[in-house]
A and B are shown apart, each in its own frame.
Chain A
């Protein structure tokens, strides 16, 4: 049972069929004026229009990039590049692609803003920090990728001239998006599109330049576009949004049951906002349990989950999100539901979780 949809989703059936059809028709260079070029241009424009509508944007505000990470780097650094300033103010719980972009561009004006124990950014501190000298851009995610907490993006109070970059990768397809962004990044494989398709949206009138080699236009800044994959991503997004409310309502309740089961375990803490959260995702930490132990044990019982614990990370550092929240970093499990996950599967997981944690603690002599 795959319970790691927030890492990467199975290709949506709508995307599957579209992808196969588009592979036949969409291989030409969309800049050319011949038949194959026009075919590819038509498909690409169609993809942009669909994605634009889904994100509450205009088609000419949308471009496809090589990945969500690529979209974040180009979006965030591209906003900063135009200002002559270098400071990036961001929440402490942004995705690592945002933090890497911040580190890449050295500045004494960078600021990381604290979050509360639920993972929600301190709006007042963010407003103050955004008014300091040298600040080029503010970055705030729509929802947190590890704990699911929604960020109050629309409540942000920013000074004029400081654009807002919103990483929406965890949120697109799951919740209604905030509206007040100037640039947005997303990733198709997080909503059921193919991997290798990022989306960068930059509002008309927002100053943005390509921070990497190449032309400054928003048209294909990351090189030759993967037209069939972009169209498949758009088809998946359209299909996902058509059923979003229904799926989200079901997932929200299933996650609520997992939250209750986890909270019922001794010495276990469910982290993230219980209400203002993504519908399909829950994270909890169990005292005295290794993150790698529980992920492996649950896998043996047939359940694939993620973990933010240090021992499961390539860096051997604990999750910066859990650390910023003051949450327990070991024994961490992140469960994220597929659109097809059933009540029975959730019940099975809850039972397996209790057995797994009990067995691991018994082995540790506790």
Chain B
């Protein structure tokens, strides 16, 4: 799984990085973004809804920061 380190990027950079990285994973594969930005919790699912991708969920990265995972559907 590709994991993007967006720990120190301000809103909306984690979502921009997510959008830019999407083409680099195969359809059906997972892509995750680790971000401190409190907006990411709402904006990753909203991005998935708006862009037709699947929001898989939130867990913790190795350093206990929130990690948001999506599945490429298209």
Whether B19 lies near A366 (C-beta < 8 A) is yes
Residues of A participating in the B interface, judged by any CB pair closer than 8 Å: 267, 269, 285, 287-291, 309-311, 316-318, 322-323, 326-331, 364-366
Instruction: State which residues 1-60 of B face A: CB under 8 Å.
Output: 10-12, 15-16, 19-20, 37-39, 41-43, 45-47, 49-51
Chain B residues whose CB sits within 8 angstroms of the CB of A311 once the complex forms: 10-11
Chain A residues whose CB sits within 8 angstroms of the CB of B51 once the complex forms: 267, 287
Whether A364 lies near B16 (C-beta < 8 A) is yes
Contact A328 B46, CB 8 Å, known A310-B39, A311-B10: yes
Whether A330 lies near B50 (C-beta < 8 A) is no
A321 CB to nearest B CB, Å: 11
Report, nearest first, the 10 A-B pairs whose CB atoms are least far apart: A330-B12, A328-B46, A318-B39, A310-B39, A323-B42, A329-B39, A329-B42, A330-B11, A310-B11, A288-B16
Of B37, B38, B42, the residue contacting A322 (CB under 8 A) is B42
B17 CB to nearest A CB, Å: 10
CA distance A326 to B49 in the complex (A): 10
Of B11, B19, B37, B45, the residue contacting A326 (CB under 8 A) is B45
A327 CB to nearest B CB, Å: 6
Whether B45 lies near A288 (C-beta < 8 A) is no
The size of the chain B interface, using a CB distance under 8 A, is 19
Chain B residues whose CB sits within 8 angstroms of the CB of A329 once the complex forms: 11, 39, 42-43, 46
Contact A288 B38, CB 8 Å, known A326-B45, A326-B46, A330-B43: no
Quick one: closest A residue to B47, CB to CB?
A287
Summarize B's interface: helix, strand, loop or mixed: helix
Chain A residues whose CB sits within 8 angstroms of the CB of B16 once the complex forms: 288, 364-366
B9 CB to nearest A CB, Å: 11
Quick one: closest B residue to A327, CB to CB?
B46
Contact A328 B50, CB 8 Å, known A309-B11, A316-B38, A318-B42: yes
Whether A288 lies near B12 (C-beta < 8 A) is yes
Of A290, A318, A331, A366, the residue contacting B38 (CB under 8 A) is A318
Chain B residues whose CB sits within 8 angstroms of the CB of A310 once the complex forms: 11, 37-39
Work out how many contacts link A and B, with CB atoms closer than 8 A: 66
Whether A331 lies near B12 (C-beta < 8 A) is yes
Residues of B participating in the A interface, judged by any CB pair closer than 8 Å: 10-12, 15-16, 19-20, 37-39, 41-43, 45-47, 49-51
Chain A residues whose CB sits within 8 angstroms of the CB of B41 once the complex forms: 323
A287 CB to nearest B CB, Å: 6
Chain B residues whose CB sits within 8 angstroms of the CB of A322 once the complex forms: 42
CA distance A346 to B37 in the complex (A): 34
Whether B12 lies near A289 (C-beta < 8 A) is yes
B55 CB to nearest A CB, Å: 11
A236 CB to nearest B CB, Å: 37
Contact A290 B42, CB 8 Å, known A328-B47, A328-B50, A366-B19: no
Chain B residues whose CB sits within 8 angstroms of the CB of A364 once the complex forms: 16
Chain B residues whose CB sits within 8 angstroms of the CB of A328 once the complex forms: 42-43, 46-47, 50
Whether B39 lies near A287 (C-beta < 8 A) is no
Chain A residues whose CB sits within 8 angstroms of the CB of B45 once the complex forms: 326
User: A311-B10, A311-B11, A326-B42 provided; 5 other pairs, C-beta below 8 A?
Assistant: A267-B51, A287-B50, A318-B43, A323-B41, A326-B49
Instruction: Name the residue in B20, B38, B46, B50 with the highest tally of chain A Cβ atoms < 10 Å from its Cβ.
Output: B46
Chain A residues whose CB sits within 8 angstroms of the CB of B47 once the complex forms: 287, 328
Chain A residues whose CB sits within 8 angstroms of the CB of B38 once the complex forms: 310, 316-318
CA distance A236 to B46 in the complex (A): 41
Whether B12 lies near A290 (C-beta < 8 A) is yes
Give 29 A-B contacts (CB < 8 Å), ordered by A residue: A267-B51, A269-B46, A285-B46, A287-B19, A288-B12, A288-B15, A288-B16, A288-B19, A289-B12, A291-B11, A310-B37, A318-B11, A322-B42, A323-B41, A326-B46, A326-B49, A327-B42, A328-B43, A328-B46, A328-B50, A329-B39, A329-B42, A329-B43, A330-B12, A330-B15, A330-B39, A330-B43, A366-B16, A366-B20
